[in-house]
Structure 1
Amino acid sequence: MLFILVIILAFSAGRGNSESLYDKDDPILELDVDTFGPAIYGSKKAHFVEFYSSWCGACIGYAPTFKKFAKQLEKWTPIVQVTVVNCADDKNMPLCREHSVNSYPSLRYFKYNSATKDDGMKYSGDKYDINKLAHDIAGLAQADAQKQNPESWPTFLPLSDASTLEDVFKSLGTTPYLAVIVQDSPSVIAWSNLINYYGNNGLKVAYVGQKHQIASKFFSDEGVHALLFSNGNAEPMWKSSSPIEKWMDVQEKIEELIGDKIAAKSPTIQPMNAAPVIAAPSNPLNNQYEVQLVDLKSAMSYMLYKEIPRREEIRDEPLAALKQWMHTLKKYAPGTTPMRRLFFRLDEWVQLRSVVTANEWLAQVDEIQQSLGNPLPKEITWMACAGSKPNLRGYTCGLWTLAHSITVEAYKQEKHNTAFKPVIDVLEPFRAFIFHFLSCSECAQNFTKEAEKNQLHLVTRAEDVYAWLWRVHNFVNKRLSGSLTDDPSFKKQQFPPKSLCPDCYDLNGEIDEAKALPFVFKYYSNIKTDPSETLPGYKVVEYKEGKTQSAGQRHLNPKFQIHAGKVDQLEANEKVKNVLDASPQRTWQDIDGYDNIPEGSRSHYYFIWLSLIGVALIVVYCKYRKNRSKFWKTFYYQNDFKL
């Protein structure tokens, strides 16, 4: 009864607030932070779990494969349950961090009666080879059974050497069919079919080694083979003619011959439909080709609050990559002055650390955010980067936009600096950060491959800092065009498209770099500040010279631009002020010899003294008025020189 309750909770809550890549027709159990523990720990079945992120391109691409895999293992559910967790859902972040899920998709096998997160075994095989994946899981289940001997599981033991067909028939009872698989250990094909048909009243699966008498009677070669018998009939109704390589080959033949006679009802799984992780903005732009401050802020926020603290501890190479990236952001991050001061302070803090925990990182980000008036939002909103679905575009679009804006800003600042090194100062920090911190592991690996292919190490000129990234991005768009990650409403294409810059193309329809690069530079320099939601009417601040400003004409205020004032100078001035405020010379001393008077007490002293002075002034004024009146009365009535 408790198990049924857990399953109901899993299906009702597991997909309740996230944009799932899986739907109600998939034989997959989707869990969240609330249902994971009750479903996994202490369970009388094993769980094969995919930790994924609904926006991750690799996860989107892998979902059809995992669905097919789950469908093949649908009858395995009483022994091994195929399960998923969406780490893009904010509420699941602590769960994914606890299990050290540093990249997606990540596959884990949780054994029978798992007790803690440490019982989850990471699967490092080829996840796209679903035949081998099934074989490997069968091997894990067999090892699990050997160690724990679960009562509700098959024994996974082969027939004894002395067993004959007659002996096996006698043990069948009323079961009408017998399948015998011939395979030496590790008997993964036999184990897979044993799990698949366990509990089926119409068929029993047994297996023997290749030297067993039953194997020797029917086969002369040493390959994996299978036999199908009708109970009591020593002549097989089917015998494999060639060695078997896939467990599904046996199942398909059995289903073909006696499928209608041994049909068993598959376990019913009815997960609920999902709601979006991140809602699309209420007033999305029709034009995706704009650099919006809203998108930059959201990309920065997601990066700081979600991507970086995915792992419980950051050390060694990942920490070195984080330090490099923070230093790059400190110098070249776009946005308002408070946004740049945020990265300045984060850089100063992280450079002194040898290890950073997720909790320390989040606490530091929060502290700096609060001290600067929260320049970055906690709620993620996409504007020009909004996709047609919540899991399309979004963060990846925002991250690309941020990177392009940084390269353009770096060129603005450093184009006359002969000491500027584009690779060391900008491009390599970005590549290393992507490699270690982009949760889409395949995306991160592909970007490193593309960096090598496009000869990152040969970039030396200042202007190539933004030109190189632009070329690589176009290469990525070309490779991913038409893939499952491609938003049908915002197709991946070469940038800039002809509709945006017709002059950027030559007569042959190819991009003319000489004309395209100036356009790219101008495009990523033009950061717009359109509101993410429709404003109620218009405001006074929208007027300029008697005319309202259209949304497309709003740009980042010049006083907030990068060169509006050096952030390091602002921070230095604030440090000096803080030092002076903390100086003993600025503490109050009272006349009776008390060394320090708290700030609150000083306010009370101010109030008291000002009140006394005010009362004295009122008394003096009243006396003055009274005396003045008395003088004139005396002068008027007693003086002989009346007018």
Structure 2
Amino acid sequence: MNEKEPGVAKSLCIAAVITGVFMLFILVVILAFSAGGSSGESLYDKDDPILELDVDTFSAAIYGSKKAHFIEFYSSWCGACIGYAPTFKKFAKQLEKWAPLVQVTVVNCADDKNMPLCREHSVSSYPSLRYFKYNSHNKDDGMKYSGDKYDINKLAHDIAGLAQADAQKQNPESWPTFLPLSDTTTLEEVFKSIGTTSYLAIVVQDSPSVIAWANLINYHGNNGVKVAYVTQNHPIATKFFSDGGVHALLFSNGNQEPLWKSSSPVDKWVDVQDKIDELIGDKIAASGPTVHPINAAPVIAAPSNPLNNQYEVQLVDLKSAMSYMLYKEIPRREEIRDEPMAVLKQWMHTLKKYAPGTTPMRRLFFRLDEWIQLQSVVTANEWITKVDEIQQALGNPLPKEITWMACAGSKPNLRGYTCGLWTLAHTITVEAYKQEKHNTAFKPVIDVLEPFRAFIFHFLSCSECAQNFTKEAEKNQLHLVTRPEDVYAWLWRVHNFVNKRLSGSLTDDPSFKKQQFPPKSLCADCYDANGDIDEAKALPFVFKYYSNIKTDSTDNLPGYKVVEYKEGKTLSAGQRHLNPKFQVHAGKVDQLEANDKVKNVLDASPQRTWKDIDGYDGLPDSGRSHYYFIFLSLIGVALIVIYCKYRKNRSKFWKTFYYKNDFKLCPWSSSPVKQNIV
């Protein structure tokens, strides 16, 4: 053995340990990235004076806080939220100086991890505005704002009123008093009370003094100017004004004559701010603290592929729309009862009869319909549990991961679910016509169109979108639809009206502009000489278009290639699919469900269950694979360490055994050691 072997063994041991640790580090990084996926892209960025919270930061920021929070719960895909974002940004900019007392805040409910938070706060439609008072303790302290959210001046006045009521009730130490000057207080006394502050602004307004309160909040903590207010009958007010309107004055400290007094009644609090900034803004700008909210890092979802053909009906889009509807939209409220429950029963019954997709997909809605018809109240957790139960029994026909293909937008928050929902509705109406065109008892409104309208009104989280669809239904006389063929024709017309109204809006994807369907690029013959759509030619095209459900991408139907040979030569080749029950619209599911019930009764043990062969959606969770990989990696590192220790000890033992005379088996077998005699 080489005498250097212990050093070599030690080096190998160290290298092995370092390699093992490095492998674990790489694994942790991979797991961190894989766990960080999200479906929500923020509508706001770091340049906006807005605090963005999520499920991890919400409680710490809101509950027990020494400031109030005005929160917008929004969904990044919601058309109304996209359209409202510029208004809310302008509003937040206007209230930027209010941050020490009232913080403008947002929560993106389209982010999957925020769904429990939004459900806890009963946010069933977007955008939803809530005022959380000073020192809030729980979700019940959030007050829903039902005023005009687009009138940002009125919105600011209302928030000032909420803050004033909050201050009067809780008397926060760091807040202004929100009380008017007493009628006996003179201007000289006010000057003395503000000390060395250079300027004094006085607002004249009777209760509710929202303009005065708003300016009190805005300039609270500013050492350059102080704000006070008086009622209309105060001597200071009667000295300068006599018309009984809301007015404002700006004084230099100690000077009885104002630098400025409003010549006409003031309508908006911001008018007072603008005038103060105009006159003395440069002198007081650095006097007050500037508070910049610390935003949670916006979650950016993986960009959608804009190269897909938008003019296709893809099974993957229908699956994703169904999955999002069942797992996100319906259980958005904590409890479903009364009218929403009745609407949900109608919609599930429609889906049971006319839902597109493979047999397992349609059996899913068949079983959901059977179950929901027997319920009067269902909680969100009960609903999700039932959907999961049926999904597992059928081999998970719907994916948990949402993927858009023809409905993919140029940004993650564009198109997506709304496109998928429209596509689903069109395919349902076409399928209903196929099945019922010769059925004299078929009622298009009762059986299909009204259940869809009611579902949109009660369960589409984009509240303005839902309300607008009901308006379109009334405008286009939904109640007059009677012929079977009008079940799909009516929805097609309404969709074109909606596209025309929204074309060019903020919700319009710049890469996929909203236009009339079918466009000339798809059906030139569908247009007459004047360039208008010819319904006689367009409707057959629409029917054929929504009947042709494609199964492209990763959701191809399971199949196999068959090649016939003879004497080494290829005779024929072709693609064959598996059992036709996994193809789109392969017969009715009623008899299949009835047969399954009989089989389960006759052969209850073992219970027959569906295997996951429909698109391979039910593959094992990657989390389990990660667990096994970590476990095996740790075992591998431990074995390497043990082996290195063994090699090191073995080397020491044999060197001692062979090279030390005291331990040799045959000490005479080696040459005697020469000793130097001194």
TM-score (norm 1): 0.85
| Aligned mate of 1:503, from 522, 525, 530 | 525
Is the 2:53–2:296 contact (alpha carbons within 8 Å) kept by the matching residues of 1? no
Match of 2:299 in 1: 275
Aligned to 2:232: 210
One of 30, 49, 53 as aligned partner of 1:31:
53
Question: Residue in 1 aligned with 2:220?
Answer: 198
3-state secondary structure, aligned to 1:250: helix
Deviation at 1:280, TM superposition (A): 4.4
Q: Secondary structure at the match of 1:564?
A: coil
Measure, in 2, the Cα distance between the counterparts of 1:33 and 1:561.
40
**Are 1:16 and 1:273, in contact at CA under 8 Å, matched by a contact in 2?**
no
d(CA) in 1 for partners of 2:141 and 2:128? 15
Q: Per the alignment, in what secondary structure is the counterpart of residue 283 of structure 2? A: coil
Helix, strand or coil: the match of 2:248?
A: strand
2:126 to 104, 107, 110: 104
For 1:66 and 1:271, the matched residues in 2 are separated by 16
> d(CA) in 1 for partners of 2:251 and 2:562?
84
Among 442, 447, 452, the alignment partner of 2:464 is: 442
Deviation at 1:580, TM superposition (A): 1.7
Distance 1:294 1:173, change over 3 A: same
2:290 to 258, 266, 289: 266
One-letter amino acid matched to 2:170: Q
Deviation string 1:149-205 (CA, Å, 9 cap, x unpaired) is 000101101111110000001111100000000000000000000000000000000
* Correspondence for 2:153 among 131, 144, 150: 131
Distance verdict in 2 for CA 1:255–1:548, change over 3 Å? farther
Other-structure match for 1:329: 351
Query: In the TM superposition, what whole-angstrom CA distance separates every residue of 1:205-261 from its partner, at most 9, and x where no partner exists?
Result: 000000000000000110000000000000000010000000000000000000000
Matched, 1:55 2:77: yes
CA distance in 2 between counterparts of 1:514 and 1:456 reads 20
Query: Residue type of the partner of 2:74?
Result: Y
- Partner letter of residue 235 of structure 2? Q
- 3-state SS in 2 of match to 1:460: coil
Moved over 6 A (4+): 13-17, 542-545, 554-557
Distance 1:403 1:187, change over 3 A: same
Aligned to 1:591: none
- Structure 2 regions of 5+ residues with no counterpart? 1-34, 565-570, 606-678
Give the letter for the 1:78 counterpart: P
| C-alpha deviation, 1:579, in angstroms | 1.5
Inter-partner Cα distance in structure 2 for 1:59 and 1:351: 34
Distance change >3 Å, CA 123–CA 429, structure 1 → 2: same
> What are the Cα deviations for residues 448-475 of structure 1, in whole angstroms up to 9, with x where unaligned?
0000000000000000000000000000
Which one-letter code corresponds to 1:241 in the other structure? Answer: S
| Paired residues of 2:160 and 2:213 also in contact (CA < 8 A) | yes
Letter in 1 for 2:69: H
Shift in CA distance, 539/376, structure 1 to aligned 2, threshold 3 Å = closer
- Give ranges in structure 1 of 5+ residues lacking alignment: 1-12, 584-643
Partner of 2:537: 515
Match of 2:9 in 1: none
Q: Tell me the amino acid that sits aligned with residue 275 of structure 1.
A: V
Q: Distance in 2 between matches of 1:266 and 1:449?
A: 45
Match for residue 247 of structure 1?
269
> Residue 357 of structure 2 contacts residue 585 of structure 2 at CA under 8 Å; is this kept in 1?
no
* C-alpha spacing 1:555/1:256, structure 2 compared with 1 (3 Å): farther
Alpha-carbon distance in structure 2 between the residues aligned to 1:292 and 1:74: 46
Q: SS state of the match for residue 190, structure 1?
A: helix
Alignment partner of 1:475 out of 475, 489, 497: 497
Tell me the amino acid that sits aligned with residue 217 of structure 1: K
Shift of 1:547: 6.8
Match of 1:84 among 87, 103, 106: 106
**Contact 1:48-1:80 within 8 A present in 2 as well:** yes
Q: CA deviation at 1:566?
A: 2.0
**Equivalence for 1:526:** 548
1:115-126 to structure 2, matched below 5 A, reads: 115-126=137-148
Supply the AA of the counterpart residue of 1:207: Y
Find the aligned partners of 1:540 and 1:294 in 2 and give their Cα distance.
20
Query: What is the CA-CA distance between 1:268 and the residue it aligns to?
Result: 1.9
Deviation string for 1:376-412 (max 9, x for gaps)? 0000000000000000000000000000000000000
8 Å CA contact 1:15–1:30 kept in 2: the answer is no
Return the TM-score normalized by structure 2.
0.80
> 1:403-439 CA distances to partner (integer Å, 9 max, x unpaired)?
0000000000000000000000000000000000000
Q: Which amino acid aligns with 1:50?
A: E
CA distance in 1: counterparts of 2:107 and 2:231, whole angstroms: 39
Distance of aligned partners of 1:76 and 1:542 in 2 relative to their CA distance in 1, 3 Å threshold: farther
- Mapped pair 1:40 → 2:62: yes
Seen in structure 2, the aligned counterparts of structure 1 residues 546 and 63 have a Cα distance that, compared at 3 Å, is farther
Q: Which amino acid aligns with 1:268?
A: H
Work out the CA distance in 1 between the residues paired with 2:506 and 2:572: 49
Structure 2 contact 358–586 (Cα < 8 Å) conserved: no
SS of 1:135 mapped into structure 2: helix
Distance in 2, Cα, partners of 1:387 & 1:144: 44
Paired residues for 1:416-435 under 5 Å:
416-435=438-457
Q: 311, 315, 323: which is aligned to 1:301?
A: 323
Q: CA RMSD in A?
A: 2.4
C-alpha distance in 2, partners of 1:513/1:542?
A: 44
Match of 1:19 in 2: 41
Aligned amino acid, residue 68 of structure 2: A
| Structure with larger RCO (C-alpha < 8 A, sep 6+) | 2
Q: Deviations over 1:510-537 (max 9, x none)?
A: 00000000000000000000014999xx
In the alignment, is the contact (CA less than 8 A) between 1:301 and 1:377 conserved in 2? yes
CA offsets 1:549-604 (integer angstroms, 9 cap, x no match): 8xxxx999964456633211111111111122249xxxxxxxxxxxxxxxxxxxxx
Post-superposition Cα deviations, 1:342-380, rounded to whole Å, max 9, x if no partner, equal 000000000000101101000000000000000000000
Task: Say if 1:56 and 1:548 are closer, same or farther in 2 by CA, change over 3 A.
Answer: farther
Q: Tell me the distance in 2 between the aligned counterparts of 1:555 and 1:490.
A: 34
Q: Residue 128 of structure 2 aligns to which amino acid in structure 1?
A: S
